[in-house]
Structure formats: C-alpha cells, structure tokens
Amino acid sequence: MLHADQALGKYKVVSMLGSGGFGSVYLAVDTWLDKKVALKVPHRQNLNFSELLREPRLLATLDHPNIVSVTTAEKQDDIFFIVMEYVPSETLETVIAASGQFEIDRAVDHALQIARAVEHAHAQDIIHRDLRPGNVLVSEAGTLKVADFGTARVIEIAARGTTIIGSPPYMAPEQFRGEAVFASDLYSLGITVYQMLTGALPYQAPTPSDLDRLQRGELVRSPRLLNGAIPTALSDVVMQALAPKVANRYQRASEFIVDLERVRDGRRATPPPSAAPNAVPPRNGAPETSVSQIQGPRGASGTPAGGFCWHCRKPLHARADHCPFCGEAP
C-alpha cells in the first residue's frame, strides 16, 4: 500500500481513491507536468512482467471518450503501476445508492454512454467481463467512463476460459460456467440499466441452488413491476439484454444502442401526457416505438411463436390475458 507524499519516480502520491480485488488506485501528481493522474497498483506484484502488462496493453488499444485512458505503465522501487487519466468523479454505484431509481431520460443517456464504450471495446475483440456500476465513473459534467479492465480478455481467450470471473449479481449465466462472449457484457449492462431504472437489482448474488433458475430466466422480472413509469419499449430492451440464453440476447452492442436510441428518440418525439390536445404531433407522426415493432411481427395472440411472453420470454398459456411472471399484457 502506498502512502501520501510517497514518490514513485516523478509521481507523488496524494491519496487513495479506492481499492478492489485486483488493485488499488491512487490520486497522484506528475511533478514534471504538474498534472493530476491516477495510479493503479496491482495487488499481485509477484506476477511475471508480461502478465502485469496485460491490462495496460489492452487499455492502450482503446481510445474512446467513455473509457478511462491509459498513459503509460512503469516500475519504480520494485513497484509496478499503471498511469491513467484522473477523472474527478463518483462511481455509478455510489450515485445509484444516493439517488435510487433514475429519471427515465437520465438512465437511457447513461446506458447509451456505457453501451458505446462496450461497443468500442468489442470492436477491438475485448470483453470486459466485470461490467458493473462500481466500475463506471460519473464525472461532474455527467460523462461516464468505463474503468477497471483488469479482468478483461481478448475474445478468443475469454470464450474458452475456465476461470469464473466477474461480480455475481452482474454476471451472465454462462459466466458461471467459466465462459464469456460479447453478449455476456451486454447482460451485465442490462443488469446495470435495470438498477438505474428501479434502484434495485433484479436478484442478489445467486446461490448454487439458484443457478438453474437463473439459466431458466426465473430470477428476472420486468422492471416495470418496480417502476411503472418505465416505457414498455424500454422494459423490452432491458429484458432482451437479460435473456438467459445467449442466442436470445443482444449479440452486439450496436444492436443494444439502436434500440436505446429509438426509445430515446420516441420519448423526444412524443408529447407528455399533460400536453394540450392541439399539441404539435411527433416529428414522424408515429407513437413511441416498441421493441416489438423493431423486431418484427408477433403471432396472432401477440406472443412469439411457441407461446412465450413477448416481454420476459417465459411460457405463456394461449388464453392468458397477462403474463404471470412479469405482469405485462401479451
């Protein structure tokens, strides 16, 4: 552990910013440039040098306004550390704890910023594997930056890995089997969006006995049951991100972004309920777009083929007038 005023080469430690399972982060000053930076010091300093360099090398391939950037990696006084941009901020986890559920437009804006960061990382074949509010920084200006790529892996390695990596309440079902794909990050993002919209997790860390229920999708209920102000279209987006089977989930962040943008644009185009009868109609003359309109026609009863609820994809009786799992009308 470093202490205040400790010098590492040209860097002078000011204070600790936080500590996690893989390392501690400190506020420091680059004394040559008189500039504040963040120093990440891995806990396991005895790893071979190539393993210590893995995270900064991954970060060096990423250049996006919603991802914390890396400056360099150094070793001073036998201490290896990563030099990163310093972002005066709180974690999204802290903000959610203080605010509870977010206003809808704010949640959508935050979700889009994170999704764009994920899209950029995936374009470099990098899976984060531990995407959660505690690893997202919220600046004073409202800019979000994804941080902590210490558990990230290149897709070819992550897909066949056997080590279980992640934070259980945010892990996709396949991650409990030691597997990770692009859609695993999108599941974690879906949990994060759910938490922003409702102020609560859809479920706590699943116990071993809960894993079968997680695989069947029985632990996740529609966020609209906790917050009736959530538009159906947005609830659909979240539930698709949280589909237990990878094949039924968003496969690419770009797909997630398109649906979030349509929800956002639909809200901008639709007058509020209190608007006068002669209010200006939506720009495109159409009501709010739902995910069901985006993804194509349903069956005659309004449910997908096979008798499943369109919203939560649970089994649904053909004559049911509402889903017993999520409460939505079919």
Q: Say which residue the tokens 């185009």 belong to.
A: 269
Residue 157: pLDDT band (50, 70, 90) is very low
Residue 45: pLDDT band (50, 70, 90) is very high
Q: What percent of the chain has pLDDT over 90?
A: 64
Tell me what pLDDT residue 279 has.
44
Query: In terms of pLDDT, which residue wins out, 217 or 275?
Result: 217
Tell me what pLDDT residue 59 has.
87
pLDDT greater than 80 at residue 283: no
Instruction: Output the six-digit token pair for 114.
Output: 């994170």
pLDDT greater than 90 at residue 189: yes
**Number of Cβ atoms within 10 Å of the Cβ of 4:** 12
Residue 134: pLDDT band (50, 70, 90) is very high
Which ranges in the chain are annotated with CATH 1.10.510.10? Answer: 90-268+289-295
Tell me what pLDDT residue 165 has.
65
The C-alpha atoms of residue 235 and residue 140 are separated, in whole angstroms, by 28
Element housing 57 (H / E): helix 54-60
Mean pLDDT of the chain: 84
Tell me what pLDDT residue 280 has.
47
Residue 149: pLDDT band (50, 70, 90) is confident
pLDDT greater than 80 at residue 153: no
Question: Which fold would CATH assign to domain 90-268+289-295?
Answer: Transferase(Phosphotransferase); domain 1 (1.10.510)
Spatial CB neighbours of 222, under 8 Å, sequence gap ≥ 6: 235, 239, 311, 312, 325, 326, 327, 328
The CA-based angle 34-36-41, given to 5 degrees, is 125
The C-alpha atoms of residue 134 and residue 123 are separated, in whole angstroms, by 23
Residue 1: pLDDT band (50, 70, 90) is confident
The C-alpha atoms of residue 193 and residue 237 are separated, in whole angstroms, by 10
250: left (phi over 0), alpha (psi -120 to 50) or beta: beta
Residue 292: pLDDT band (50, 70, 90) is very low
Q: Which amino acid is at 192?
A: T
Give the C-alpha distances (Å, rounded to integers) separating 191 from 39, 54, 74, 295. 29, 27, 35, 21
- Bridge partners of residue 231, in order along the sequence: none
Residue 318: pLDDT band (50, 70, 90) is low
Which ranges in the chain are annotated with CATH 3.30.200.20? Answer: 11-85
Q: Which amino acid is at 167?
A: S
Which residue from 259, 240, 235 is spatially nearest to 250, judged by alpha carbons? 240
Establish how many alpha carbons lie within 13 A of residue 57's alpha carbon, considering only the half-sphere containing its beta carbon: 8
The C-alpha atoms of residue 127 and residue 119 are separated, in whole angstroms, by 10
Query: In terms of pLDDT, which residue wins out, 20 or 252?
Result: 252
Is 140 a residue of the active site? yes
Tell me what pLDDT residue 310 has.
57
pLDDT 10s digits, 92-109: 999 999 999 999 999 999
The C-alpha atoms of residue 121 and residue 109 are separated, in whole angstroms, by 19
- CB-neighbour burial class of residue 211 (10 A; exposed 0-12, middle 13-18, buried 19+): middle
Instruction: Output the six-digit token pair for 116.
Output: 């764009």
CATH assignment of 11-85, among 3.50.50.60, 3.30.2350.10, 3.30.200.20, 3.40.50.300:
3.30.200.20
Of the candidate ranges 21-35, 42-56, 201-215, 315-329, the one whose mean pLDDT is the lowest: 315-329
Tell me what pLDDT residue 254 has.
97
- CA 135 centroid distance within chain: 9
The C-alpha atoms of residue 57 and residue 54 are separated, in whole angstroms, by 5
pLDDT greater than 50 at residue 145: yes
Residue 293: pLDDT band (50, 70, 90) is very low
Of the candidate ranges 38-42, 79-83, 154-158, the one whose mean pLDDT is the lowest: 154-158
Of 51, 103, 140, 288, which is the active-site residue?
140
Query: In terms of pLDDT, which residue wins out, 199 or 327?
Result: 199
